[in-house]
Amino acid sequence: MNDSRLNNLTSIGIPHFQAFPQSRLSRSLGGLCFTGCALPVSASLPILFAPLESLNSRTAEAEMWMTENEVTSGSRKNLIYRHDDHVLFGIFKQNDVDPKQSLEEATYSAYLQILELLSALGYQQLYRCWNYISQINEITEGLERYRKFNKGRHRAFAERLAGNAQLPAACALGSVGEGLHIAFLAGKAEFIAIENPRQIRAWNYPEQYGPKSPAFSRAILLSHVARKILSVSGTASIVGHQSYHEGDAQAQTLETITNIEAIVLEANKLLGHSAFDLRQGNYRVYIRHPEHAPVIERLLSQALGPDVNISLLRADICRTDLLLEIEATLHESGQY
Mean pLDDT of all residues in 3-31? 72
Residue 272 reports pLDDT greater than 90? yes
Instruction: Judge whether 297 counts as a catalytic residue.
Output: no
pLDDT band at 220 (very low <50, low <70, confident <90, very high): very high
**Which residue among the candidates 63, 325, 327, 332 is catalytic per the annotation?**
325
Listing DSSP states for 214-246 in one string gives ---BSEEEE-SSSS-EEEEEEE-SEEBTEE-ST
Dump pLDDT digits (tens) for 62-107. Answer: 888 999 889 999 999 999 999 999 999 999 976 555 656 789 999 9
DSSP string, 39-102: PPP-TTS-EEEE---BS-SSSEEEEEEE-SS--EEEEETTEEEEE-SSEEEEEE-GGGS-TTS-
Mean pLDDT estimate for the chain = 90
Is the pLDDT at 1 greater than 50, yes or no? Answer: no
More confident residue, 59 or 228: 228
Average pLDDT on 108-136 reads 96
Evaluate if residue 18 carries a pLDDT over 80.
no
The whole-number pLDDT of residue 58 equals 58
Q: Note the pLDDT of residue 19.
A: 63
Domain 10-334 CATH assignment equals 3.30.1330.40: yes
Can you give the pLDDT at residue 165? 82
